[in-house]
Amino acid sequence: MAYDCIIVEIEDEVALIRLNRPEALNALNKQLLEELAQALTEADQNDKVRCIVLTGSEKAFAAGADIKEMAEKSFVDVFVGDLFTAPTEAILRVRKPIIAAVSGYALGGGCELAMTCDFIIAAENAKFGQPEINLGVIAGIGGTQRLTRFVGKSKAMDMNLTGRFMDAAEAERSGLVSRVVPTAKLIPEAMAIAGKIAEKSQVAVRAAKEAVNRSYETTLREGLLYERRLFHSLFATEDQTEGMAAFLEKREPQFRDK
Ligand code: CO8
| HSE-CB of 22 using CA atoms within 13 angstroms | 4
Closest CA to ligand 1's atom 10: 24
The residue whose CA is least distant from atom 38 of ligand 1 is: 63
Amino acid 238: pLDDT: 98
Residue ranges, the chain, pLDDT below 70: none
What pLDDT score was predicted for residue 220?
Answer: 97
Q: How far is the centre of ligand 1, averaged over its atoms, from the C-alpha of 139 (Å)? A: 14
Select from 28, 31, 67, 138 the residue to mutate for testing ligand 1; criterion: most ligand atoms less than 8 Å from CB.
67
Cα dihedral 222→149→199→225 (10° resolution): -10
Nearest one of 161, 202, 178 to 122, comparing CA atoms? 178
How do strand 127-129 and strand 179-181 relate by DSSP bridges? unpaired
The preferred substitution site among 25, 30, 105, 137 for testing ligand 1, maximizing ligand atoms within 8 Å of CB, is 25
Cut 0.90: pTM above it: yes
Helix locations, the chain, DSSP H: 30-45, 67-70, 75-80, 85-93, 109-116, 146-151, 153-162, 168-174, 186-199, 202-214, 220-233, 238-248
Query: What pLDDT was estimated at residue 1?
Result: 73
CB 126 within 8 A of CB 104: yes
Residue 2 confidence (pLDDT): 87
Query: What digits encode the pLDDT tens for the residues 12-42?
Result: 999 999 999 999 999 999 999 999 999 999 9
Other C-beta atoms lying within 10 Å of the C-beta of residue 101: 27
Distance from C-alpha of 221 to C-alpha of 233, rounded to nearest angstrom: 18
Instruction: Determine the angle formed by the axes of helices 202-214 and 238-248, rounding to 10 degrees.
Output: 100
The predicted pLDDT at position 258 comes to 95
Pairing of strands 98-102, 51-55: parallel
Task: Map out the domains of the chain with their CATH numbers.
Answer: 6-198 (3.90.226.10), 200-249 (1.10.12.10)
ipTM score assigned to the predicted complex: 0.97
Q: What atom in ligand 1 is closest to the CA of residue 66?
A: 1
Q: Which of 69, 82, 147 is nearest to 108 (CA)?
A: 147
> What pLDDT, on the 0 to 100 scale, is given for residue 84?
87
Q: What is the DSSP letter of 134?
A: G
Give the number of the atom of ligand 1 that is nearest the alpha carbon of residue 85: 57
| Residue 142 CB–ligand 1 contact under 6 Å | no
For ligand 1, atom 21, name the residue with the nearest CA. 24
